Amino acid sequence: MIDVLILPGLFGSGEGHWQQHWLQDQPGSRCVAQDDWDYPNLDNWLLRLEGALEEAGEAYLVAHSLGCLLAARLAGRSAARRVKGALLVAPCDLPATENLHPGHISFGAMPTAPLPFPSIVVGSMNDAYMTVDRLALFGRLWNAETRNIGLAGHINVASGFGRWRNGYRLLEGLKTQTRGRRHVVSIPPAFAM
């Protein structure tokens, strides 16, 4: 049974990345892959995520960098109802990412719609991909709890994050927060009593 869907960032989460450890350590986790990690196609990747959610029934999302923006694109889509919660780690800011890696991504504008599922956004004070001010802004826009973990860079292998045990604790906290949560179904007025 798939319980956690892993959404890597640009260039994928290579060997030693905390997401790779999660795939090994967390039974029931699966990576939502794409054809070309160097030049991701948003539409195709979004379709794969929706298919993975349909196959899983319901799942938590654990995203890093560009994967966070993929998760945020679910707002307003029917597949969002299948997301139990999302841990969004070191989201990238598209303008900064395009400056750092010109020509690698074409994701349009930053998603700004509130997420219809419980979410925790985790970032740092010295991430080249998203400033602290932008982290706080998108945390508010996405209606997510925001956690600043200090001087942690992009929360990847280059900034010293291999097996990230505090991340496991954050996911477990999110799972505890969402246990027993029911989706609210609107009843048309004609059927209300």
On whether residue 30 sits in a domain, the answer given is yes
For the chain, what is the domain count? 1
On whether residue 155 sits in a domain, the answer given is yes
Residue 136, C-beta contacts closer than 8 angstroms, at least 6 positions apart = 146
On whether residue 193 sits in a domain, the answer given is no
Please answer whether residues 65 and 10 qualify as being in contact, where contact means their C-beta atoms are separated by less than 8 angstroms: yes
On whether residue 63 sits in a domain, the answer given is yes
Whole-angstrom distance, CA of residue 25 vs CA of residue 98: 32
On whether residue 171 sits in a domain, the answer given is yes
Strands 83-89 and 29-31, by their bridges, are unpaired
Q: Tokens 């109802």 identify what position?
A: 81
On whether residue 192 sits in a domain, the answer given is no
Residue 135, C-beta contacts closer than 8 angstroms, at least 6 positions apart = 91, 121, 123, 127, 146, 148
Domain containing residue 64: 4-185
State the pLDDT at residue 163.
84
Q: If DSSP states are collapsed to H, E and C, what string results for 140-179?
A: HHCCCEEEECCCCCCCCHHHCCCCCHHHHHHHHHHHHHHC
On whether residue 88 sits in a domain, the answer given is yes
On whether residue 163 sits in a domain, the answer given is yes
**pLDDT digits 0-9 by tens, 37-61:** 999 999 999 999 999 999 999 999 9
State the pLDDT at residue 6.
97
pLDDT lower than 50: segments of the chain = 182-193
State the pLDDT at residue 193.
31
How far are the Cα atoms of 12, 66, 154, 171 from residue 20, in angstroms, in the given order? 10, 16, 16, 15
Neighbours of 191 (CB within 10 A): 6
State the pLDDT at residue 2.
80
Q: Kindly report the CA angle at 126 between 67 and 69, in degrees rounded to 5?
A: 15
Q: Which two tokens stand for residue 66?
A: 């560009």
CATH classification at residue 132 = 3.40.50.1820
Q: Where are the beta strands (DSSP E) in the chain?
A: 4-7, 29-31, 59-64, 83-89, 119-123, 145-148
